[in-house]
Chains A and B, each alone.
Chain A
Amino acid sequence: MARYLLKRIGFILISLFFIISITFILMKAAPGGPFASERKLPPAIEQQMNEAYGLNDPIYKQYADYLINAVKFDFGPSFKYTGQEVTDIISRSLPYSLILGLEAIFLALSIGVLLGVIAALNHNKFGDYIAMVIAVLGISVPSFIMATILQYIFAIKLQALPVARFESFAHTILPAVALATTPLAFIARLMRSSMLEVLHADYIKTAKSKGLNDRVVTYRHALRNAIMPVVSYLGPLVVGILTGSFIIEKIFGIPGLGNEFVVSVTNRDYTVIMGTTVFFSVLLLVSILVVDLIYGFIDPRIKLSGKGSK
């Protein structure tokens, strides 16, 4: 177990090293310096600014500095907003994204599992068809279209919920629903097929023939085993929620990390791009590791060992 953990952490560090290096190379290769704008700066000022941001150092020194700072999680100041540290921007915007993301994950998991179970228990009946129509639609309607539809119906036409911004719980409902739609549909389908498989297993027959009532069989015996594929979907779920937040936060005007990333991309704010990219990658790699650990913990059939992982 300890060996496995060490190996996985080592693997994460290697991946991170590659990600950090690649972002550095990409940002160096990007056309146009960070101070390129319509108004030409006097050469002396540009020279001084390059000096201040360390852009005059030889490339290997810049790279080494960047690596060391990345380890310390210090990405320096933003190029666009003077006086703001990248770390400040991240820590300021993270709470919004975190609340939104957790809400969406909760929604996707609870409703997705519920729909899947309903579909499986009513196999080839009305409930099944309804649940699967919802699931197929959920997969086919992109999150940003879902977001605009929700915005149009509930905020503009019905005036029931706020259109944008992030101030109260009511503000979070529409973006969380939009963000959760696609993963919710995936989870419902996963849950349905795995539940159908489990319901035909021998131990379910045994449980039924022991005279246990349907409720106990379904929730005690079937559900607990059928939920395994959903647990392994948690990694991709986190990825989906995270990248989905880029567009949802933009549509709803939420000052979260996803929005910050998109803004930094359009602004060519290199330090912020690099900082958020590395931060996102750490978040993802760690959450995938945690999911794998949980998976091994709740399903003893899966042996966590150094060999043959992944």
Chain B
Amino acid sequence: MQRTEIKQSDFEALPLDRMDAEKIAGESTSYWKDAWRRFRKNKLALAGVVVIILLGIMAFIGGPISGQNYYQNDLMNANQKPSSEHWFGTDNLGRDVFARTWYGAKISLFIGLMAALIDLIIGIIWGAVAGFFGGKVDEYMMRIADILYGVPYLLVVILLMVIMPPGLWTLIIAMTITGWINMARIVRGQVMQLRSEEYVMASQSLGASNSRLMFRHLVPNTMGPILVTLTLTIPSAIFTEAFLSFLGLGVPAPLASWGTMSSDALGSLQYYPFQLFFPAFFICLTMLAFNVIGDGMRDALDPKGR
């Protein structure tokens, strides 16, 4: 074993720069950088993002590249199997399933994103106000939310669909009328927790207005849970749309959505199962992709969950 030789020079003091203490060894990471680093490691969630981007692109270019349109009836060529002319075949009215699938993608994704966005806006405002002011305001606001929450979501949506004229926006309004409550509850909980932090008090003593405190200081700090809830709201909105369209209460013809396409294909399932296959497959794929993204985001953004 080799002995270490100790020399006098080893005991000399190194030149000390006082600024060294200020040096940061690793690159500084923000909350979002850190979350992105964790999210990137999750291959499944990344695959989900890729799938959603591809679906989004196809929703716009899918119709044009097939050279067919989604509404043209062609009864001579009804119920055809997938071929070089009709890539996904045709439905019972001879409409091209490929074009309809991507047109449906546009509708389904639009409804999902729009419903989630409206839920987000109402939920953030409601939850932030209730959580920020607390006391009586909170109690009344949350009581209202509780009462609305007591009625099953789909029941309300179906009842509203009965009285409103059928259409895309009717569907979105019906879905958001009680859909925001979940978001409001989450934001409220987070805001209540953060309300007593020192930085809020500091800002308040500097004369910041209530709305500045709420939307500038509190809400941005609750973004993690909000984003997770948002990504998990989108698939449930897409599901609700498909569910309603399947019941015949969704988007009216000639608009096509994956739900109406599945519903139309159900009648001839025994003879032309491929008509159901395409819309059903894409509903499942989209929901799967959003669900794995949501899970990945939860793992990445929630430090406790690790």
Query: Which residues of A line the B interface, CB within 8 A?
Result: 11, 14-15, 18-19, 23, 26-27, 29-31, 136-137, 139-142, 144-145, 148-149, 151-152, 156, 239, 242-243, 246-247, 250-251, 261-262, 265-266, 268, 273, 277, 280-281, 284-285, 288, 310
Contacts and interface: CB of A to CB of B under 8 A. Distances in A.
A247 B266 contact: no
A23 B228 CA distance: 33
Contact of A142 (B152, B159, B269, B283): B283
B247 A140 contact: no
Interface of A is mostly: helix
Given A140-B287, A148-B266, A148-B280, A247 B243 contact: yes
B247 A26 contact: no
Contact of B243 (A31, A142, A281, A310): A142
Interface in B211-252: 235, 239, 242-243, 246-249
B155 A144 contact: no
Given A136-B291, A148-B269, A156-B270, A142 B155 contact: no
Nearest to B144: A18
B155 A280 contact: yes
11 contacts: A136-B292, A141-B284, A142-B239, A145-B262, A148-B280, A246-B247, A247-B243, A251-B266, A273-B159, A281-B150, A288-B150
A246 B269 contact: no
Contacts of A261: 158
Contacts, number: 98
B159 A144 contact: no
A15 B147 CA distance: 6
B151 interface: yes
A29 B146 CA distance: 24
Nearest to A288: B150
A239 B152 contact: yes
A138 B243 CA distance: 16
Given A142-B243, A148-B269, A242 B163 contact: no
A288 B243 CA distance: 24
A281 B156 CA distance: 11
B98 to A, nearest CB: 20
Given A142-B287, A148-B266, A151-B269, A265 B158 contact: yes
Given A26-B160, A246-B154, A247-B243, 16 more contacts: A15-B150, A30-B163, A31-B163, A139-B287, A140-B287, A142-B242, A145-B262, A148-B262, A148-B280, A149-B280, A151-B269, A242-B152, A261-B158, A262-B158, A273-B162, A277-B155
Contacts of B292: 136
Given A145-B280, A145-B284, A281-B150, A262 B159 contact: no
Contacts of B291: 136, 139-140
B255 interface: no
B192 interface: no
Given A139-B291, A140-B284, A268-B162, A152 B269 contact: yes
